[in-house]
Structure 1
Amino acid sequence: MRRLPALGTALLLSLGLFAPAAQAATGTPAAPTEKPTSSATPAAVGKPTAPRTIPVPKSPDTPEDARPLASDPRAKATAPTAGSSVGAAPAAQSLTAACDVSAFTGKSGAALVQQVKSAGLDCVNTLFQLTGNDAKGAFNEAQMVTVANALRDTAATYPGDNSTSVGQLVLFLRAGYYVQWYHKDAVGPYGDSLKAAVRGALDAFYAAPRTRDISDANGATLAEAVTLIDSAQENARYTGVVKRLLNDYTGSWPAQMTTAVANTETVIERGFDLPEFVSALQADPTFATTVQSFVTRNSGLIDGGDVVTKVGIQLGNLVANDALRAQGRPILKDLINRYPLVGRTGPLTMNLLWFTEKKDAGNCSFYGTCDVPAKLVPLVLPVDHTCNANLRIRAQEMTAQQLADTCTSLVNQDAFFHRIVKDGGPVANDNNTALEVVAFDDYYNYSLYAWEMYKIDVDNGGMYEEGDPSKAGNQARFIAHEASWLRPQFQIWNLNHEYTHYLDGRYDMYGDFEAGMTTPTIWWVEGLAEYVSYSYRGEHYDAAVAQAGKGTYALSTLFDTTYDNADSTRIYNWGYLAVRYMLQSHPDDVTALLAKYRAGDWNGARTLLKTTIGTRYDADFATWLKACAADNCGSLPTTEQPKAPLCTAADTRQYDKDCRRDGVAATTGNYSYSYLNLPAGVKQLTVTTSGGTGNADLYYNGGSWATTGSYLAKSTAGGNGETLTITNPPAGYVFFSLYAQQGFGGVTVTTSYN
């Protein structure tokens, strides 16, 4: 997607269009007879306005990550926790004859207690699935009170293991709360009788000395009993139990005991939704400092997905609560500044930072975090690579080959795009001369850091920021991540789709996003991005072809597509089909439409689509869809660019508009020098190299000879596939050269301008 009103002010990154000049080589040639009168200078880079942003789709293949992401807006669970860590998960079990439901629903009193105690934990675990009359028979309040009282009596002599079936009683109560939450009408209400009984049961259990045993045998039952605290919404009553577990914990505890500690996360997190829990923390500030101490004392165990991180993050809820904010501020300040923002402690510090910014906004000075975005850029994105004057990559981790391949992919896409839209240069007042591509290592790192670094929503597959293109120094930026699920293949998710948005915004769509959205343009904006991306990469668009066979939409209906009235299938699959049909079947109409888009004549464009064209093409579009469904959609554009005619000037160094020279060569360390004499008013000059052997790098220097030590722009990818696009070059002589990183020969050099 192309752009949308800002979610926040993005961090300004210095563009760095012009790399530090290297030492100049010797032996520069004499200038042409007519000396250039001026030289190009880098454009000033000013402070941008808040960017217009819009997310791109998240891949369904994006892997889940066990590490926490407060910045990923997921609804906090309100229902009691399902299933058990000591029995098989309910989804994996079926109610079989070996676990007869009637054995629980048809008994009460002592018989019910005996049935629960004698059943296996895996059998009791299946009761989380009960519905209807079975749910009522097993879990009505009277049944729950009976089992809670039995737990009270049995817990008094708890031996530190499950030999007295305390685990089954706890798990039955957990299942009851879970089922009643979802099936209140069937089960009936729970009232004061059950509350009193459960409190008596939990009081007795936690008073038993053997609940302090540091063993897996105790931990298995203790873990379930900790979860029962939250299921019964007794979070406030048992803050002391949570404190005890956190105070006693060490990294040497066995796995089941660690699970018991981990389950306190749910008690704490969901406790903040209960007024009595908040009141308990107000009355006892040591609860918060106990959690803080738990984190600092066990910080050596932090690896991102550990119990310390997950429990520690819950401290953020202190500043999300008006009554506890003053209590929480110094604690969060300490932890955020104590531990690094990246590495193993990153999930903890970044999540706590999220709370300070989202729930205690405007206080970065107190927390000492106002400069965090600037700090994060070099820490998270150490790779800083300039493809050419128009394209820069900031990445978390990319090899030299991956950088070169990405640069080549994007640079070569320019010519492909321009052949499709047949533009005459950038639209008026568009200063987005360069794009910055930000590539995080995977979706998790994108989610963990991009929200803070660029002030964007991250529950998506990436974000394109166009900003205000009329502002000098505005930075267009695509914030992306590697498609980690495709490894070992390297791919930046949505790369070519988003680069098309950059090009489309610069060469086809006048003004900013709000201007372009005054009438429906999404069929074109997203359809073109899909069309160029799939065509350029030579990838068959299976999903779109499958949709063509359904014939869901008329072409005239697709002209009305907006982000608000359409789902992703209509926006992307059907946008692609509409754009492909129009480009192939009615190119003159596309030319007329783009003329209006480029002038900002949105109403004129709308009249063309809905009145001049209207429904005239609907029948033909329907016919074309049927053919397309049979994989006969027509010819796609090729990536091969037609060759320009040979340059005719006698001086082999001189180039002109739309001409080429073949067989260009130079030995290692030397140059092939060239120049053009441009008329006034040139909007865009493009120089490309291709073919041949060796490795030639391309340099441009405006009004003086271009060398590795004196240049305004360069393209230095591996091999000879280089492109430079210079916006608003000066009139008169301008100079470029090919420098031989490795001796080259047989290279074709092409120049064009408009």
Structure 2
Amino acid sequence: MRPSSMAKDAARRLPALGTALLLSLGLFAPAAQAAGTPGAAPAGNPATSAAPSASAGKAAPRTIPVPKSPDTPKDARPLASDQQAKATAPTAGSSVGAAKAARQFSAAAACDVSAFTGKSGAALVQQVKSAGLDCVNTLFQLKGNDAKGAFNEAQMVTVANALRDTAATYPGDNSTSAGQLVLFLRAGYYVQWYNKDAVGPYGDSLKTAIRGALDSFFAAPRTRDISDANGDTLAEAVTLIDSAQENARYTGVVKRLLNDYTGSWPAAMTAAVANTETVIVNGFDLPEFISALQADPTFATTTASFVTRNSSLINGGDVVTKIGIQLGNLVAHEELRPQGRPILKDLINRYPLVGNTGPLTMNLLWFTEKKDEGNCSLYGTCDVPAKLVPLVLTVDHTCNANLRIRAQDMTAQQLADTCTSLINQDAFFHKIVKDNGPVANDNNTNLEVVAFDDYYNYSLYAWEMYKIDVDNGGMYEEGNPAVAGNQARFIAHEASWLRPQFQIWNLNHEYTHYLDGRYDMYGDFEAGMTTPTIWWVEGLAEYVSYSYRGEHYDAAVAQAAKGTYALSTLFDTTYDNSDSTRTYNWGYLAVRYMLQSHPQDVDALLAKYRAGDWNGARTLLKTTIGTSYDADFAAWLKQCGADNCGSLPTTQAPLCTAADTRQFDKNCRRDNVAATTGNYNYGYLNLPAGVKQLTITTSGGTGNADLYYNSGSWATTGAYQAKSTTSGNGETLTITNPPAGYVFFSLYAQQGFGGVTVTTTYN
């Protein structure tokens, strides 16, 4: 996924990519005593070369977002990114009372909408009060003439005045039907918000009436009762404050609830306190609310005291956390910053950044950085990014000199499987693109994979640790590969919805971007975007991810059957002119077709990409090829849509020419390799200095051959540094930075095998 200029809402629309399929292979096990005698080894003393360490240098990252999975579960805990999209519409439906109608109140008869739309005055009031809460709750769905008949301003004024009168003797429960009156008024504001043309405007008459109603209700002594009976109606009345946009007038009510609250309150009373969050968060959108808080600094201190006094209740998704986070809005408004700054500084430094208090502290930190930018020294938070890395990413694992994993929580087996999946993907990738090593001036010699435990933790921490947008499913930081010590990094999270199976979301897709950028695309990502290259960039990532994992790409095959795009049109794909279907499904189809049907054109195209000749590549696609393949592509799509997409043309390395049948070279193969059960077939290479990657693959034949590698002596099941032991004969080993001189490998016959092809390549 690319680029940094991609709009967040566009990224949000992108669909899920295939999840990572991790292979179970043992990697780099320590060598043991050799179990067999393969014969004399070639003369020479194999050199051992130390793997280079990752440089600490870092260039400004070029960030490439990953689409968020639609299967990502909703977490009850708040996220900093949620603050960017506050809801200002009235709250829909009953939050407390109607859900408890069967327990708290008498059951209601079937709800007849005409009973509300056809009555007014005292008759309407009586109808509302006699209806069950569950019946009144259905009125939130009214539209058209029904909405106007029930909720025009005159009807609302009538019910508001009735609430005023009823509240004067409120008994602390719903025996006088105050709850139905409150819920009716809430429904009216909600329906009018979304159906203003049908319902008509609300003006001063209703404003006066609703203030009288709320004044009367909150003045009633029994609204202070600490009971579920009172809490059911009180919770709805608190929400009504926001529905009527009277947030500024009733800051005193909010303060009273926050000041009185203790963790021992019953559930309905706690819900009433929780509903003050809506009053507060939406209040910050109202100028009069800002003025009220500016005139009364005790609102801020009361809210802060509510947090510190009840801090033992904090678990991340609790009422204290959710209300406490709203204190961050103080620093979002210049008039309130003098109040907010000392409060936020105290809370951020008072509570840990990780654990139960993490959602509170990280959200408040977000406000200080995004809404009071450039003042980290004032808050004492300038060192937070560096502090967070070891606190959050407690796992630090090196796969090899070119690949490192920083994780929040991964087992040894999960780490080994992830390393194997990526290392073996190298060979698969190079076989497809047929490169001759990295492009010029590319210093992205190593990749750091960062794996958070789930999407929530990624969103909570990655924005601060890596200064990236987190409204996505992950982020690839390519950086500037021309800068020495540049650190390429894929910031990801576990696909928690697939547990107990372990998968890192988009792992193989994003690793392809790293490989493609290093071996196919000259310069940084922005350089490659000077002409439309997205069909290749995203199409190849999809192709490699699905093909390498052996996954059937259902969505792409379904799109092929539709025949929506011509190939020449897909060559024009950019992030700006395409949706996720065209970017990923159709990118995959275009790349697969070109690789299978016109590999020579792909070779020519990649030669230009690797040289940074973007205009030359564009000429090849749009002028040399142009529309000439469109008809054939359309015919291929029909076959692919019927699930007959074909396969890549077979390209074999030439046969090895050395007289010793055990000897292999840079790019050669030996056919008809065989061994009986329990025995070996041995091989070796004499490598020059400076080899970056050695790849050994086996394929074809019968039986079951396992592949072992060793740099110091003959490779056996008891003496090896790497192995590939899948069922059958499809084995691959990619050795990074092998030593110069003789290195060894063997095929061990778990089951007698024959007719196997062994191929070695290195660059």
TM-score bracket, normalised by the shorter chain, equals 0.7 to 0.9
Give 1:546 shift. Answer: 0.6
Task: Flag the 1:99–1:132 CA change in 2: closer, same or farther, 3 A.
Answer: same
How has the CA–CA distance of structure 1 residues 267 and 372 changed in structure 2, closer, same or farther, with 3 Å as cutoff?
same
2:458 counterpart (427, 433, 446) = 446
Question: 1:290-338: CA deviations, max 9, x gaps?
Answer: 1111111111111111101110110010011111112111111111111
Report the counterpart of residue 535 of structure 1 in structure 2.
547
Moved more, 256-265 or 284-293: 284-293
1:250, distance to aligned residue in structure 2 (A): 0.8
**Cα distance, 1:98 vs. partner?**
2.7
- Output the CA distance in 1 between the equivalents of 2:141 and 2:522: 57
State how far apart, in whole Å, the 1-side matches of 2:720 and 2:380 are: 41
Q: Could you tell me how far apart the structure 2 residues matched to 1:415 and 1:8 are? A: 20
Q: Aligned in 2, Cα 1:287/1:694: closer, same or farther, shift over 3 Å?
A: farther
- Alpha-carbon shift at residue 717 of structure 1 (Å): 14
- Check conservation: 1:661, 1:750, Cα contact below 8 A: yes
| Counterpart among 704, 707, 726 of residue 695 in structure 1 | 704
**5+ long unaligned stretches in structure 1:** none
Q: For structure 1, which segment, 211-220 or 38-47, has the greater mean C-alpha deviation from structure 2 after superposition?
A: 38-47
* Residues 6-85 of structure 1 mapped to structure 2, 5 A cutoff: 42=52, 45-72=55-82, 75-85=85-95
Deviation per CA, 1:379-409, whole angstroms, max 9, x where unpaired?
2111111111121111111122211111111
Contact 1:215 1:254 in 2 (8 A): yes
Q: Could you list the per-position Cα deviations for residues 366-388 of structure 1 after superposition, in whole angstroms to 9, with x for gaps in the alignment?
A: 21211211221122111111111
The superposition leaves residues 401-456 of structure 1 with CA deviations (integer Å, 9 ceiling, x where unpaired) of 21111111111111111111111111111111111111111111111111111111
Change (3 A) 1:258 1:37: closer
C-alpha change, 1:628 and 1:473, in structure 2 (3 Å) is same
Q: 1:13 to 1:494 in 2, by over 3 A?
A: closer
Distance 1:401 1:106 in 2: 69
Q: Percent identity?
A: 90
Which deviates further from its counterpart, 381-390 or 651-660? 651-660
Contact kept? 2:401, 2:736, Cα under 8 Å: no
Deviation at 1:182, TM superposition (A): 1.3
Task: Decide whether aligned partners of structure 1 residues 730 and 406 sit closer, same or farther in structure 2, where only a CA change above 3 A counts.
Answer: closer
Residues 389 and 714, structure 1, Cα contact 8 Å, conserved in 2 = no
Q: Deviations over 1:535-587 (max 9, x none)?
A: 11111111111111111000000000000000000000111111111111111
Residue range with higher mean Cα deviation, 13-22 or 721-730? 13-22
Distance 1:49 1:91 in 2: 60
Partner Cα separation in structure 2 for residue 333 and residue 11 of structure 1: 44
Question: Are the structure 2 counterparts of residues 199 and 443 from structure 1 closer, same or farther at C-alpha, using a change threshold of 3 Å?
Answer: same
Name the CA shift for 1:707/1:199 in 2 (closer, same or farther; >3 Å): farther
- The structural deviation recorded for 1:362 is 0.9
Say if 1:454 and 1:662 are closer, same or farther in 2 by CA, change over 3 A: farther
- Contact map agreement 2:30 2:721 (CA 8 A) in 1: no
- 1:85, CA displacement in angstroms? 2.2
Which of 234, 238, 249 aligns to 1:222? It is 234
- C-alpha contact 1:47 1:473 (8 A) present in aligned 2: yes
State the SS of the aligned residue for 1:688. strand
- Please name the residue that 1:648 is paired with: 657
Question: How far 1:635 moved relative to its partner?
Answer: 2.0
Give the SS at the match of 2:681.
Answer: strand
Is the contact between residue 686 and residue 724 of structure 1 (CA under 8 Å) also seen in structure 2? yes
CA contact (8 A) 1:11 1:373 kept: no
Offset of residue 718 of structure 1: 15
The 1:666–1:51 alpha-carbon spacing in structure 2 relative to 1, beyond 3 Å, is farther
Secondary structure of 1:673's match? strand
1:219 Cα deviation after fit: 0.1
Alpha-carbon distance in 1 for matches of 2:758, 2:629: 43
In 2 relative to 1, CA 305–385 (structure 1 residues): closer, same or farther, beyond 3 Å?
A: same
Shift in CA distance, 622/714, structure 1 to aligned 2, threshold 3 Å = closer
Instruction: Using the TM superposition, name which of 146-155 and 260-269 deviates more.
Output: 146-155
Q: CA deviation at 1:86?
A: 3.6
Q: 1:736 to 1:420 in 2, by over 3 A?
A: closer
Which deviates more, 188-197 or 299-308? 188-197
Shift of 1:753: 2.5
**Cα 1:737–1:420, aligned 2, differ >3 Å: closer, same or farther?**
closer
Structure 1 residues 306 and 708 mapped into 2: Cα distance closer, same or farther (>3 Å)?
Answer: farther
Residues 637-685 of structure 1: per-residue CA shift (max 9 Å, x gap): 899xxx9899898999987534699999999999999996555775655
Q: Which moved more, 1:509-518 or 1:382-391?
A: 382-391
- Taking the aligned partners of 1:454 and 1:276, their CA distance within structure 2 comes to 37
Q: 1:202 is matched with which residue? A: 214
Q: By how many angstroms is 1:28 displaced?
A: 18
Q: CA deviation at 1:42?
A: 2.7
- Aligned 8 A contact 2:26 2:723 in 1: no
Alignment partner of 1:173 is 2:185: yes
1:97-133: CA deviation from partner (whole Å, max 9, x where unpaired): 9322222222222222111111111111111112222
Distance 1:152 1:560, change over 3 A: same
CA RMSD of aligned residues (A): 5.8
Taking a change above 3 Å as real, the CA distance of residues 730 and 100 of structure 1, as seen in their structure-2 partners, is: closer
CA 1:701–1:551: 2 relative to 1, 3 Å:
closer
What do the CA deviations read for 1:704-728 (whole angstroms, capped 9, x no partner)?
9999999999999999999886788
- The answer to whether structure 1 residue 336 and structure 2 residue 324 are counterparts is no
Q: C-alpha distance in 2, partners of 1:664/1:345?
A: 61
**CA–CA separation in structure 1 for the residues paired with 2:111 and 2:706:** 74
Decide whether the 8 Å contact of 2:228 with 2:268 is kept in 1: yes
Q: Do the aligned partners of 2:52 and 2:401 also contact (CA within 8 Å) in 1?
A: no
Aligned residues: 748
Label 1:471 to 1:167 Cα distance change in 2 as closer, same or farther (>3 A).
Answer: same
Tell me the TM-score normalized by structure 2: 0.84
Determine whether 1:128 maps to 2:128: no
> Any idea what the Cα deviations from partners look like across 1:119-178, whole Å, max 9, x if unmatched?
111111111112222222222222211111111111111000000011011111111111
Q: State the shift of 1:751 in Å.
A: 5.5
Scaled by the length of structure 1, the TM-score of the pair is: 0.85
The 1:137/1:629 distance shift into structure 2, 3 A limit, reads same
Distance in 2 (CA, whole Å) between partners of 1:157 and 1:559 is 74
CA distance in 2, matches of 1:495, 1:354: 28
Residues 460 and 44 (structure 1 numbering): CA distance in 2 closer, same or farther, change over 3 Å?
closer
Structure 1 CA distance for aligned equivalents of residues 642 and 114 of structure 2: 56
Give me the whole-angstrom Cα distance separating, in 2, the residues matched to 1:18 and 1:434: 18
Could you say what secondary structure the match of 1:561 adopts?
coil
Shift of 1:527: 0.6
In structure 2, the CA distance between the partners of 1:535 and 1:724, relative to structure 1 (3 Å rule), is closer
**CA shift digits 1:315-366 (9 cap, x unpaired):** 0100111111121111111111111111111111111111111111111112
Structure 2 contact 708–715 (Cα < 8 Å) conserved: yes
Q: Given the superposition, is the C-alpha separation of residues 173 and 624 from structure 1 closer, same or farther in structure 2, using an over 3 Å criterion?
A: same
- C-alpha distance in structure 2 between counterparts of 1:316 and 1:137, whole Å: 42
Distance 1:598 1:288 in 2: 58
- CA pair 49-726 structure 1, distance change in 2 beyond 3 A: farther
Q: 2:566 and 2:52 mapped to 1: Cα distance?
A: 49
C-alpha deviation, 1:699, in angstroms: 13
8 Å Cα contact 1:624/1:633 also seen in 2: yes
Q: Would you say the 8 A contact 1:152–1:205 is kept in 2?
A: yes
The residue aligned with 1:521 is 533
Evaluate the alpha carbon distance shift between residue 527 and residue 41 of structure 1 in structure 2; reply closer, same or farther with a 3 A threshold: closer
Q: Aligned partners of 1:706, 1:20: CA distance in 2, in Å?
A: 12
Give the whole-Å Cα distance in 2 for the aligned partners of 1:33 and 1:730: 16
Q: Distance in 1 between matches of 2:300 and 2:33?
A: 59
Aligned to 2:307, what secondary structure does the other structure show? Answer: helix
CA contact (8 A) 1:161 1:218 kept: yes
2:22·2:421 contact (CA, 8 Å) conserved in 1?
no
Q: Which moved more, 1:139-148 or 1:681-690?
A: 681-690
Between the aligned partners of 1:285 and 1:12, the Cα distance in structure 2 is: 56
